[in-house]
Amino acid sequence: MEKVVFKRPKYMKKAPFHYCPGCGHSIIHRLMAEVIEELGIGEKTIGVPPAGCAVLAYDYFDIDMGEAPHGRGAALATGVKRILPDRIVFSYQGDGDIAAIGTAETIHAANRGENITVIFVNNSCYGMTGGQMAPTTLLGQNSTTTPGGRDKDRDGAPIDLSEMLAITRGAVYIERTAVNSIKNIRKTKKAITKAFKVQMAGLGFSLIEILSPCPTNWKMSPVDACKWIDEDVMQTFPLKVIKDETG
């Protein structure tokens, strides 16, 4: 008797993704939808999509979604969660959104220990606007605003937002993962599951930073983009549990 062992998760609408070939966003969307289904929280989860490529996340998740202005995901999610403390609230943000224009909102939400989960997608560039330098762009990495590659003296060095957040007292669980290989995708799903569980247990702020390929703006094939994450991106942003105070 043949069984279906892999299919579209319940909370992911059957809509074709608008993302470029090989983009990590939709892998992350799917993992989140799987976790939401497995934890049985689809009917009480409220998502906050960002400005950026993932703004259209609301077209794919079959749950309540409220769009945030650029960078304000953590503040908006705070407002939702404080009014509905028994719901599960997540904010989904890119690197420019969370680590440049929304740094203040993110740090203070973490520091207050807001009981929300943040999914931070790090693809080391501004994807939607066409590949400009992001706060996470690697030194030497080309972008449309760093001719000749990002230069520390001229452009500043990449920012370790997750590590910065870890020193806030309200942050409970912070992990950096990637979606560039089967192994890393499985680890990412585990990390997302743990982050949601932290929130369900009311422990405080959780954040998963996910290294994600952007083949279009990196000007690489999707397979090469995944290799580049292994070989280069992880040198700057090593995969690890950055903070775990879940006891």
Q: Which residues bind other proteins (CB under 8 A)?
A: 1-8, 12, 16-17, 19-27, 30, 42-46, 48, 51, 55-56, 58, 61-69, 72, 75-84, 87, 104-105, 107-108, 112, 181-182, 185-186, 215, 222-223, 226
Q: Which residues of 17-56 are buried (b: 16+ CB within 10 A; e: fewer)?
A: bebbebbbbbbbbbbbbbbbeeeebbeebbbbbbbbbbbb
Question: Min. distance of Cβ 172 from other proteins in angstroms?
Answer: 19
Taking each helix axis from N to C terminus, what angle separates 25-39 and 182-200, rounded to the nearest 10 degrees?
50
Nearer to other proteins, 22 or 96 (CB): 22
Q: How far is the CB of 182 from other proteins (least distance, A)?
A: 5
CB 13 to other proteins: min, Å: 8
The minimum distance between CB 95 and other proteins, in angstroms, equals 18
Question: Which of 152, 181, 244 has the alpha carbon at shortest distance from 207?
Answer: 244
CB closer to other proteins, 107 vs 198: 107
d(CA 180, CA 138): 17
Buried b (16+ CB within 10 A) or exposed e, 182-203: eebbebbbebbbbbbbbbeeeb
C-alpha closest to that of 140 among 219, 232, 220: 232
Pairing of β 117-122 and β 171-178: unpaired
CB 241, min distance to other proteins, A: 22
CB of 82 to other proteins, least distance (A): 4
CB closer to other proteins, 24 vs 158: 24
Q: Which is nearer to other proteins, 67 or 245 (CB)?
A: 67
Taking the CA of residue 240 as centre, how many other CA atoms within 13 Å lie in the half-sphere pointing to its CB?
Answer: 11
Q: For the CB of residue 149, give the shortest distance to other proteins in the complex, in Å.
A: 26
CB nearer to other proteins: give 91 or 146: 91
Q: Which is nearer to other proteins, 105 or 160 (CB)?
A: 105
25 vs 176, which CB is nearer to other proteins?
A: 25
Q: Is 206 exposed, middle or buried (0-12, 13-18, 19+ CB in 10 A)?
A: buried
Number of other residues whose CB lies within 10 A of the CB of residue 222: 17
Q: Are 98 and 73 in contact (CB under 8 A)?
A: yes
